[in-house]
Amino acid sequence: MNKPTGRQVGPPSLGRHPGPRFNGPAEKAKNQKATLLRIWSYLKNQRIGIVSSVFFVIVSSILSLIGPLFIGLIIDEHILKLDIDGTIRMVLILAAIYIISAVFTWLQTYVMIRVSQKTIQQLRQHLFEKFQSLPLSIFDKRQQGDLMSRMTNDVENLNAALSQSVIQIVSTILTVVGTGIAMFYLNWVLAVVTLLVIPIIVWSTKQIIKRSSKNFVMRQKDLGNLNGYIEETISNSNITTLFGKEMQTIEQFKKANEKLRASALSADIASGFLGPVNNFINNLGIALVIGVGALMVVGNVGVSIGVIASFVTYTRQFFRPINQLSNLLNTFQSAIAGAERVFEILDEQNEVADVPDAITKNHYDGEVEFRNVDFYYQKDKPVLKNISFRAKAGETIALVGPTGSGKTTIIQLLNRFYDAMSGEILIDGNEINQYKMENLRDHIGVVLQDTYLFSGTVRENIRYGKLDATDEEVERAAKIAYAHSFIKYLPQKYDTMLSSGGMNLSQGQRQLIAIARAIIEDPDILILDEATSSVDTMTEVQIQKGLNNLMQGRTSFVIAHRLKTIENADQILVIKDGAILEQGNHDKLMKNNGFYASLQQQLQVQ
């Protein structure tokens, strides 16, 4: 087979607290309604959990609204009347109310987390499966970091919103509305006094956010630049060491780190004003309630001390969710934008599709023909122009030419990573798109230029070419590829663990294992893309001997910079600027004294 090698519950505190902090402007979704409907398509399978969570938050909110009423009742009917037994009894009931409220809050949080995790698991699975079927053009157009961010950050932001923000927004709305109704029920005058400070809160919050937003934008930009620099530095640490640029790298990181510190400091200082300012306004509202309430008590206009105590508690309970709402909406908005980015990938077209009744074969003879094939990644920039050649079954075809001439693109078309824009590609007399794609790729073995090994043992990496291969088959393939000669000296031999990418092996050793992987696959068509370009000459000779045995009876396509390795090829295609410049075997091309001959002469001079 062809595989590339919660809401606080209880009596509100009357003391000071830091208050909310603005977390910066959230990226907005382009089409929030459509995105919300897509999210619901995943959530609807969890209807029971969602309904249960909403029920729990309603009960919890109602119980938290009853608490302040009991506080006023206890003061007026028991404390002021020096009724100790009644006070103790009512306090115990109040404690029970808050305990039950806390239990229901925990239940709604627990249920919503389960709903969120099941939903996100399904979405993450769909996204990963989508990555496996995306055309290569998507990976050509998008940065790897961007795709990784959609798979991790965007999905996790949605997870946080579903498990916390959504239900908190519901709780906030219920609390604000319920508290408002309760306050007007107790005394409409004090309720109006409480509401007077809301415009001040809204205005001050808007002004602070307006001034801090630009600082958060700069912080996110600087953070992205720093993360990009770190990723680049880690990925190219060997180059840094090779050129002795460690100190320069540290100095550049220091500058980027300092720039992030400055922008983050500005953003956090600006947003840090939000908590103290809102705390001051909240306390101002409480002071107004106490002041007006005291005057009403002194004036004997129907307001009791217990009502004032209830109002103070309700005021705290009323302002807290209002202060938090901006952050909750910000988080929710950011999650919707992230979900939209995820759905953008899910909506991408899959790679080239199979035709109805596509052909499957147990064996391919390996006759390959390109007829007037044109291809481009961008319409105004052709990559292949009128490519025509025919490879008979069992022949070795060498592709030679400068970097960027189109050699690898021919191989990608043969693997059907892309479809040709015009012309025909035939295998065993049938157009390539008539075959079932998975079946075709199962019979094409590939050794890529950039060899990639997975985390696992040496044996597992070789067996990736044939998952049911026995240990004997693995070792036989390694011997043919001349990989056995170094594997036997590894600490655990074939059971030696390899790090991600096989970085604990040399480039040559990684390539030998990749070749062994192709050998054990036993393909009908073999593709060697720069297969021996990264090993020393002695190792290359050993590899070539094994490959010569492997290529017997198989159609093989070889791309190599070392022209010496392809002199025995049945056909050599000299490709330049996307077109076949010369075609023939080594002797014929040398007699033509053309571009290929000049390359050979340059090689001899070197």
Mean pLDDT value across residues 460-487? 85
Q: What are phi and psi for residue 455, nearest 5 degrees? A: -65, 125
In this predicted structure, the answer to whether residue 507 has a pLDDT above a threshold of 50 is yes
- In the block, residue with structure tokens 């295609």: 573
- Tally Cβ neighbours within 10 Å of residue 514: 28
Sheet hosting strand 444-447, strand order edge to edge: 444-447, 525-529, 555-559, 396-400, 571-576, 579-584
Angstrom distance (rounded) from CA 341 to CA 157 = 12
- How many separate helices (H) and strands (E) can be counted in the chain? 22, 12
* CATH 1.20.1560.10 is the classification of domain 25-176+338-350: yes
Mean pLDDT value across residues 491-496? 87
What pLDDT sits at residue 600? 75
What pLDDT sits at residue 136? 66
The DSSP line for 13-48 is P-S---------PPPPPS-HHHHHHHHHHHHGGGHH
What pLDDT sits at residue 13? 35
What pLDDT sits at residue 87? 84
What pLDDT sits at residue 531? 52
- In the block, residue with structure tokens 């001997």: 545
Return the percentage of the chain with pLDDT > 90, whole number: 1
What pLDDT sits at residue 326? 65
Buried b (16+ CB within 10 A) or exposed e, 384-404: beebebebeeebbbbbbbeee
Taking each helix axis as running N to C, give the angle between helix 84-133 and helix 166-186, from 0 to 180 degrees, rounded to the nearest 10.
150
What pLDDT sits at residue 599? 77
Between 534 and 541, residue with greater pLDDT = 541
Q: Which fold has domain 368-605?
A: Rossmann fold (3.40.50)
Q: What is the DSSP letter of 562?
A: -
Q: Given pLDDT bands bounded at 50, 70 and 90, which one contains residue 5?
A: very low
Whole-structure pTM value: 0.63
In this predicted structure, the answer to whether residue 299 has a pLDDT above a threshold of 60 is yes
Task: Give the Å distances, CA to CA, from 156 to 132, 148, 230, 336.
Answer: 20, 12, 22, 11
Least confident of 41-50, 72-81, 149-158, 282-291: 149-158
Length of the chain: 606
In this predicted structure, the answer to whether residue 255 has a pLDDT above a threshold of 60 is yes
Least confident of 12-26, 261-275, 384-398, 507-521: 12-26
Q: Which of 236-250, 554-568, 569-583 tops mean pLDDT?
A: 569-583
Q: What is the DSSP letter of 244?
A: T
Mean pLDDT value across residues 340-350? 76
User: Is residue 352 helix, strand or coil?
Assistant: coil
Q: Given pLDDT bands bounded at 50, 70 and 90, which one contains residue 103?
A: very high
Angstrom distance (rounded) from CA 318 to CA 194 = 9
What pLDDT sits at residue 364? 87
Angstrom distance (rounded) from CA 141 to CA 429 = 34
Angstrom distance (rounded) from CA 447 to CA 466 = 14
Residue 300 backbone class (left: φ over 0; alpha: ψ -120 to 50; beta: rest): left
> What tokens appear for 232 in the block?
């680049």
Between 322 and 98, residue with greater pLDDT = 98
pLDDT digits (tens, 9 = 90+) for 416-432: 888 888 888 898 888 88
For residues 181, 185, 189, 192, the Cα torsion angle rounded to the nearest 10 degrees is 0
What pLDDT sits at residue 542? 67
What distance lies between CA 451 and its chain's CA centroid? Answer: 24
In this predicted structure, the answer to whether residue 19 has a pLDDT above a threshold of 50 is no
Residue 425 backbone class (left: φ over 0; alpha: ψ -120 to 50; beta: rest): beta
Mean pLDDT value across residues 3-16? 36
In this predicted structure, the answer to whether residue 105 has a pLDDT above a threshold of 70 is yes
Q: In the chain, list all ranges with CATH 1.20.1560.10.
A: 25-176+338-350
C-beta separation of 135 from 352 below 8 A:
yes
User: Is residue 568 helix, strand or coil?
Assistant: coil
Nearest alpha carbon to residue 529 among 407, 381, 364? 407
Between 405 and 335, residue with greater pLDDT = 405
What distance lies between CA 311 and its chain's CA centroid? Answer: 48
Between 271 and 447, residue with greater pLDDT = 447
Angstrom distance (rounded) from CA 460 to CA 530 = 23
Long-range contacts of 246-249 (CB under 8 A, 24+ apart): none
Between 238 and 436, residue with greater pLDDT = 436
Compute the radius of gyration of the chain from its Cα atoms: 35
> What residues pair up with 574 in beta bridges, in sequence order?
400, 582
Q: In the chain, list all ranges with CATH 3.40.50.300.
A: 368-605
Mean pLDDT value across residues 257-266? 84
- Tally Cβ neighbours within 10 Å of residue 235: 9
Q: Given pLDDT bands bounded at 50, 70 and 90, which one contains residue 234?
A: confident
User: Is residue 56 helix, strand or coil?
Assistant: helix
Average pLDDT, the chain: 78
In this predicted structure, the answer to whether residue 176 has a pLDDT above a threshold of 80 is yes
Task: Give the Å distances, CA to CA, from 222 to 246, 258, 439.
Answer: 22, 10, 48
Between 212 and 108, residue with greater pLDDT = 108
What distance lies between CA 513 and its chain's CA centroid? Answer: 30
Between 257 and 141, residue with greater pLDDT = 257
Mean pLDDT value across residues 220-227? 72
C-beta separation of 505 from 424 below 8 A:
no
In this predicted structure, the answer to whether residue 11 has a pLDDT above a threshold of 50 is no
Residue 557 makes CB contacts below 8 A (sequence gap 6+) with 391, 396, 397, 398, 399, 410, 411, 414, 525, 526, 527, 528
